[in-house]
Amino acid sequence: MSVMTRQKNSMPRKVEFARDAIINYIHDHRLVAGDRLPSYSQLRKELDLGSQTISDAVASLCSAGVLEVRDKVGIFVLDPAGGGISGRTIAIAVRQLASSAYSATLAGYIQSILNLHSCSCLTFYQQSGTSADSFPGLAQSISERRFDGLIALCPLGENLSKHLVEAEIPCCFVGDDDELPSGARLSVVMGVKEFLSRSRAALQEAGCQRLVQLCISSGQARRRECGIPALIGRSYPGGEAIAAKLLAIDPAERPDGVICDDDTVVSGLISGLIRAQLPDVRYMPRISAIIHRELGESYPVSRMVIFEQSVEEYARMAVHLLLEVLREGGTDVPHQVCRFNPVERLESCRE
């Protein structure tokens, strides 16, 4: 259980720390309503705090309906959810919403799951068009230890990563396997390389000869160099711009197979191709795409190769990995990489 410097309310700092530590104990030991907590004396030893501080913290949690003290029996859990009181604070680092609608959705799921574990959240957004270190307020929050752990939905950059290590704050990277930072100790990565390989095989099996992959930046295209030419377009609303690029190519040379892991781009691509060719839609390449189960995307075209991913499951993996490390309480974080591959091909390219 780490001691943090946070902005305080009227409650004394030691009492607030003790209260948060008891909330963490309930979650870390997966206690349920009716379970018994350690005695006052055991809590004093574990938290290295005075009797009055522990008594005040327990009284505060009793007033909130989290605990119940039974005279001469002990301290018992009433509300294992913590009564809305947060134990740990977890930071989330996210790309600008305009650059990735998917990241915003994933961040929302992560925050909801953390809240279920009685964790409060701080969200830091990367400034558009700046270096990887540019998350306003994040560096200062690290130096002040305003949070216990961080979930990064994009690479943080060398400086911020170094600050986290120096502050002994664990960080879990969540993202595509092609952008996994070399020094990441904890990570949950999407198997984009596996998706690209399986997509190419499926489209070629269906007879496609001119394949192209859609990327949101030239940097992403370089990381994903796999022998498939890349078309560059923004995540949102880049799909329609890519449609215009495809239609500008000589019909005899246009790609007949398109691979994209961003369902927002795929939606824009398909709608852009349809609108630009109405009333006679003659060109529609075969598309291999990842859809996100919770978002319920559907496409008005046939002959697609569709891989499915659960955003909620992805988020749960990240939260579980980070909280397990925090429960252990150690600063020597082992190297752990959890791979999360898009599952089964739901539709076939074959006629």
Domains and CATH numbers, the chain: 13-84 (1.10.10.10), 88-190+312-342 (3.40.50.2300), 192-309 (3.40.50.2300)
What is the pLDDT, as a whole number, of residue 4?
Answer: 37
CA distance 40 to 75: 8
Higher pLDDT, 238 or 269: 269
Compute the average pLDDT of residues 125-146. 81
pLDDT of 98 above 70: no
pLDDT at residue 5 in the model: 35
Task: Give 276-329 as a DSSP string.
Answer: HHTT------EEEEEEEGGGT---S-SS-EEEEE-HHHHHHHHHHHHHHHHHHT
Tell which wins on pLDDT, 126 or 236: 126
* Highest-pLDDT range among 82-96, 226-240, 312-326: 312-326
CB atoms under 10 Å from CB of 200, counted, come to 19
User: What pLDDT sits at residue 128?
Assistant: 64
The per-residue pLDDT for 316 is 94
- In the numeric block, the tokens 């960080």 are attached to 171
Sheet of 336-340: strand order equals 119-125, 88-94, 149-152, 171-176, 186-190, 336-340
- Residue pair 254/285 in contact (Cβ under 8 Å)? The answer is yes
Residue percentage of the chain with pLDDT more than 90: 35
3-state class of 343 per DSSP? strand
Model confidence band, residue 97 (pLDDT cutoffs 50, 70, 90): low
Give the model's pLDDT for residue 119.
Answer: 87
Calculate mean pLDDT across residues 60-86.
83
Report d(CA 171, CA 325) in Å as an integer.
10
- Which of 189, 188, 154, 190 is CA-nearest to residue 322? 188
Q: What is the mean pLDDT of residues 44-66?
A: 87
pLDDT digits (tens, 9 = 90+) for 38-50: 999 998 888 888 8
- Using CA atoms, how far residue 164 sits from 70, 171, 184, in Å, is 42, 7, 11
Residue 270 has pLDDT above 50, yes or no: yes
Q: Is the pLDDT of residue 331 over 70?
A: no
Predicted pLDDT of residue 247 = 94
Containing 231, the helix (H) or strand (E) segment is: strand 230-232
Does the pLDDT of residue 91 top 70, yes or no? yes
Nearest to 55 by CA among 87, 14, 111: 14
Q: Residue 9: its pLDDT value, please? A: 45
Buried-exposed string 146-157: b where 16+ CB fall within 10 A, e elsewhere: bbbbbbbbbbbb
- pLDDT > 70: percent of the chain: 87
- Residue 26 phi/psi, 5° resolution? -60, -45
Rounded-to-10 torsion of CA 307, 311, 315, 317 = -30
Retrieve residue 278's tokens: 């109405």
Q: What is the value of pTM for the model shown?
A: 0.78
Q: What is the per-residue pLDDT for 282?
A: 93
SS3 category, 230: strand
- Tell me which DSSP letter residue 228 carries: S
- For tokens 């980070």, the residue is 322
Q: Is the pLDDT of residue 171 over 90?
A: yes
Give the per-residue pLDDT at 13.
79
d(CA 308, CA 343): 5
Structure confidence at residue 216 as a pLDDT band (50, 70, 90)? confident
The span from the CA of 336 to the CA of 161, in Å, is: 16
Average pLDDT over residues 192-216: 91
Residue 15 reports pLDDT greater than 80: yes
What's residue 2's pLDDT? 41
